[in-house]
Amino acid sequence: MKFKISNTYPQNLDTVVCFTRPGYDPRFNNSTLQAAFDEAFGADDNKLEKDKSKILRMKLNGGFVNLILTSFDCSMENAFDGFRKAVLKVGTNLNELKAKVVYFDNPTNLVFTGDKEEIIRQISSNLPLCDYTFDIHKQKKTEITDKEIVIFGEDSFTVALNEGANIAEGVCIARDLVNEPANVLTPIELANRTVEFGKKYGFDVKLYSKEKCEELGMHAFLDVAKASVNEPVLIVMQYNGGGEEISKGIIGKGLCYDSGGLFIKPGDGMKTMNGDMAGAGAVIGAMCSIAANKLKKNVTTIVAACENLIDGNGYRNGDILESMSGKTIYVASTDAEGRLTLADAITYMIRKENVDSIVELSTLTGSCATFFGKVCSAVLTTEDDLFNKIADKSTVSGEKYWRLPTFSEYKENIKSDVADLYNSSTNGAGGISAGMFLNEFKEDKPFMHIDIAGTTYTSSKSDGQIKGATGYGVATVYYYIKG
């Protein structure tokens, strides 16, 4: 999909897109298009209800073109939610029509926001998601028509247009990584792909082997990985576009497969455990978008990549582990492994990298997935400023968050009689307890935990979304770093 800004429509177009308000007649920016529409449909009622679309055939330039009319409620609390939904519906329509040259006539005339650049950015960051497929392992590939998308606007909107397209590319990279099966995307393969992304988009990647992690004292991370023949690797990414400013730190959970260990997962849930590295996918995808758009910011991201499997060498329920921080951890459940790897990743970030704060994303608990479903993700932090920086970007990222309580009583859930910490909850509130556990490793750094367990995968298809990985978190990290 290629994007272009122009104040005239291309002569070879085959499809025109026009946004409308519910209950209003369609209005075109281009007078020729308006005249063609009035001549063909002036006597008809083409007012649309909210969130509805209509496809017509219209005579233009001696031939016929497809006309997509689509409405959204610009008076809703967050009108961008409705606008994104309309854009994704248009993307589905374009694929159904096998459109090749498309002209968006009037998006910058929409009145629900004063930021016309953001309208352009939302189109180019969402429309490509409708062309996303994951068929690399299939003989018969999905047929997607190459498209040229021309959007009405001034040349000054080109920066926003390209920025949005690069965000979409980051989301698709995250989807690819999370959708890959675990026999393909091993920890070292994830590391190697990250190195290639760094070369392509412009960020530095350092890889630390199992032996180096042992020297660093990352025993909690390594103990989780002991049962797998695929060795763990610590992936450190750095993008320096902000001169001398201190980096922001981002961590993504990198469990390339999670069987639950000896506390083995029941039922069919294990089939999608290749997606337990969705936090890693999100931060890697975001790094690609950040570097591609050359943000004038500094960011350091970390993924502790490994697998949690079953073997005679594996760690056990009841073991006591030593973390890089020096704190000891009683293993109540080998299926609460992510927080063990993240604890060492947090300590490494604090002690070995110069960052001013840490935001961590992980598919950490089933309790948050059950409680919040697919609508939003959970956040645990004691830092109001950090939470507000994420929450304030939900309007444009389209990714929603809700803050969990941090009452001191919840700390009782992670106390152990025989070690410094207990890696699972002793009294319910699993999602909160997991976040409180990670909070114990933040030392003096502002820290925020984001549990994306419920939002990173979908078992149903919708506009702009195939069954599988969503790429959730990429846009959040991107806009957070952009500021």
What are the residue numbers of the active site? 265, 339
Measure the CA–CA gap between 343 and 278, rounded to whole angstroms.
Answer: 17
**Cα distances (angstroms) measured from residue 35 to each of 9, 29, 48, 56, 437:** 14, 11, 20, 15, 64
Tokens 């149903």 belong to residue? 460
In which residue are the tokens 């589905």 written? 92
Residue 348 and residue 234 in contact, taking contact as beta carbons nearer than 8 Å: yes
192: Cβ–Cβ under 8 A, 6 or more apart, which residues?
A: none
> Looking at this protein, which amino acid is placed at residue 194?
T
**What does the alpha-carbon distance between residue 27 and residue 48 come to, in Å, rounded to a whole number?**
13
Q: How far is CA 175 from the centre of its chain?
A: 8
CA distance 378 to 324: 26
Note the helical H segments in 400-446: 430-439
Q: In what order do the strands lie in the sheet with 63-71?
A: 2-6, 148-152, 101-104, 15-20, 63-71, 53-60
- Cα dihedral 453/135/305/209 (nearest 10): -170
Distance CA 195, CA 206 (A): 8
Q: Name the token pair of 275.
A: 């997606």
C-alpha span between 48 and 397 (Å, rounded) = 27
Q: Are 280 and 379 in contact (CB under 8 A)?
A: no
